[in-house]
Structure 1
Amino acid sequence: MFANYLIGLREGLEAALVIGILVAYLVKTNRRELLPQVWLGIGIAVIVSFAFGAILTLGPQGLSFEAQEAIGGTLSIVAVGLITWMIFWMGKTARFLKTNLETALEKAIAVGKGAIVGMALIAVGREGLETALFLWAGIEAAGSSTGPITGAVLGLLTAIALGYLIYRGAVKLNLRAFFQWTGVFLVIVAGGVLAYGIHDLQEAGILPGLNNLAFDVSAQVPPSSWYGTALKGIFNFSSATTVLQAIAWVAYVVPVMWLFVRMAFGGPKRPATKPEPSAPATSAPLTTTTA
């Protein structure tokens, strides 16, 4: 439940920030008459995102078990790829998001009202489609209980409330820290989704090794226990994990986590300075720049 809450919160907040930036720019530049076009584009994006989510959920029904597992496993791996891209993309471009969106909106205004609708549709629709795919993959990996769905809905509602409060200036959120730490957690979540997708493809007969287990701790961590359910819901942990699942998890999480932490937390290096040998002892202290 918590993992899906975090996915809903992060993805929903990204969409809410995009909407807030577009609306605030039109209000700030005294172009309120163009707000209906922006809201129309946003509305279409929401409808398309819900339709995409419905297709993901209802589309495979009626197919054979192997076909459903093949589709589910493939989409889970695609979702991991998009999650990874999104984590790094947001880490690199979050500081320029406002400027880029305002520039794109200004260009759309110069073209006409239809372009404004299209720009809002694309900007919000991208976030909506990503959210639908990520949440679907997270819910599928976490199981068929109502907990993952509840967590996703609560995450989205929290994101909407935070987005509104940020827009109104009532809340100041350190977005850099927010995306840093949620990115760290999402790497682990994505590793679990990847392992789940691998298992689906094994059940579909596409990948080998379904019965070749790396470990089986079902006796120590029963899937039906509260702690087994918690581990499943937070980290997509499986008590019986195949060798291929374990290899995929390690091969993904270790390098991706290292690269993300290095990028997100490393910060720019300060230039080395050499002390002046002739500087007097009473000279003013040197000042350093902060990242």
Structure 2
Amino acid sequence: MGNAFFVVWRESLEAFLIAGILYAWLKANDDSGKGRQALFLGLGAGAGLALLLGWALLSVQDGLSGDALEAFQTGTLLVAAGLITQMVLWMQKHGRYMKARLHADLSAATARGGHLGVAVVAALAVAREGAETVIFLYGLAQGGELQALAFGSVAGFAAAGATAWLAARSLARLNIGVLLRLSSILLLVLASALLVAAIDRMIGVGWLPPLLDPVWDSTLFLDDTSTGGKLIADFTGYRARPALVTLLAWAGYWSVVIGAQRKARHD
């Protein structure tokens, strides 16, 4: 539930902030109010596109079985990990210019297509966040516990709305920049956990050799099958008895992420 809550909170918060930026621009530049109507239509269309993606994923899964289903679910975990990583690295590099970029896109869209252009910009912005959320949740759903996943998703969406509302009114000294930076780190940790889960699946079905299994046994220190240990394992990718190939994949992931962050800081 915690992972679902965090992912939905983070992604929904970005969607709320994007909607707020677009609304503020239209309020200042569109006296007719038709642009804001187009904005709301676009936001609804973006949410609809995300739901359509969810339906498509479930439909594809229902038509698969055996190795094909295993490959599809493993691939979803890898895609989710990659999307999270790409999103965080992109936001760390370009997030400070997001407001200006959205304003520029909206100005250009208004000039080209009027209110339809406004709706398209809003739909694409929200659909991107929503599609990422759907893929992330589908990846998390591979571990079962769908009821907890649903509860965490609803709670995360509500919390995102509350966070955006607080930020808009500058209450409780809420610093969105700090929240987004901290949540970006946690998202990268979660992405590495999804990668580890995918590697475990590939080892389990024989698609990857473990090389050495286990490298160590820390069960006495923290058992990843216990209640607390499983929560930590699901969120961080911790394994009490890790295979060598899992450790190599985890180390490789963080080497790439840290290298990309250093390169971005120097650009």
TM range (shorter): 0.7 to 0.9
- What SS class does the counterpart of residue 61 from structure 2 fall into? coil
Q: Which amino acid aligns with 2:159?
A: T
Which whole-Å CA distance do the structure 1 matches of 2:4 and 2:200 have between them?
Answer: 20
Which structure has the bigger radius of gyration? 1
Q: Provide the residue aligned with 1:115 in structure 2.
A: 117
Is the contact between residue 193 and residue 236 of structure 2 (CA under 8 Å) also seen in structure 1?
yes
Which whole-Å CA distance do the structure 1 matches of 2:55 and 2:212 have between them?
Answer: 33
Larger mean CA deviation between 185-194 and 53-62 belongs to: 53-62
Which whole-Å CA distance do the structure 1 matches of 2:63 and 2:135 have between them?
Answer: 21
- What SS class does the counterpart of residue 242 from structure 2 fall into? strand
Is the contact between residue 45 and residue 124 of structure 1 (CA under 8 Å) also seen in structure 2?
yes
**TM-score normalised to the size of structure 2?**
0.86
Is the contact between residue 4 and residue 138 of structure 1 (CA under 8 Å) also seen in structure 2?
yes
Q: Which amino acid aligns with 1:87?
A: V
Q: Which amino acid aligns with 1:180?
A: R
- What SS class does the counterpart of residue 208 from structure 2 fall into? coil
Q: Provide the residue aligned with 1:195 in structure 2.
A: 196
- Consecutive unaligned residues in structure 2, runs of 5 or more: none
Which whole-Å CA distance do the structure 1 matches of 2:244 and 2:66 have between them?
Answer: 23
Which whole-Å CA distance do the structure 2 matches of 1:153 and 1:69 have between them?
Answer: 28
RMSD over equivalenced CA pairs, Å:
2.8
Q: Deviations over 1:69-117 (max 9, x none)?
A: 2111112112222111111111122221111111111111122222222
Distance 1:172 1:37, change over 3 A: farther
Q: Provide the residue aligned with 1:3 in structure 2.
A: 3
Aligned-residue offset at 1:209: 3.1
Distance 1:171 1:19, change over 3 A: farther
Is the contact between residue 74 and residue 198 of structure 2 (CA under 8 Å) also seen in structure 1?
yes
- What SS class does the counterpart of residue 59 from structure 1 fall into? helix
- What SS class does the counterpart of residue 113 from structure 1 fall into? helix
Q: 2:127 aligns with which of 125, 128, 144?
A: 125
Q: Which amino acid aligns with 1:98?
A: K
What percent of counterpart residues are identical? 29
Which whole-Å CA distance do the structure 2 matches of 1:59 and 1:238 have between them?
Answer: 31
**TM-score normalised to the size of structure 1?**
0.79
Aligned-residue offset at 1:46: 0.5
Which whole-Å CA distance do the structure 2 matches of 1:199 and 1:57 have between them?
Answer: 23
Is the contact between residue 189 and residue 235 of structure 2 (CA under 8 Å) also seen in structure 1?
no
- What SS class does the counterpart of residue 60 from structure 1 fall into? helix
How many residue pairs end up in the alignment?
Answer: 265
Q: Provide the residue aligned with 2:77 in structure 1.
A: 76
Whichever structure has more helix as a proportion of its residues is: 2
- Consecutive unaligned residues in structure 1, runs of 5 or more: 269-291
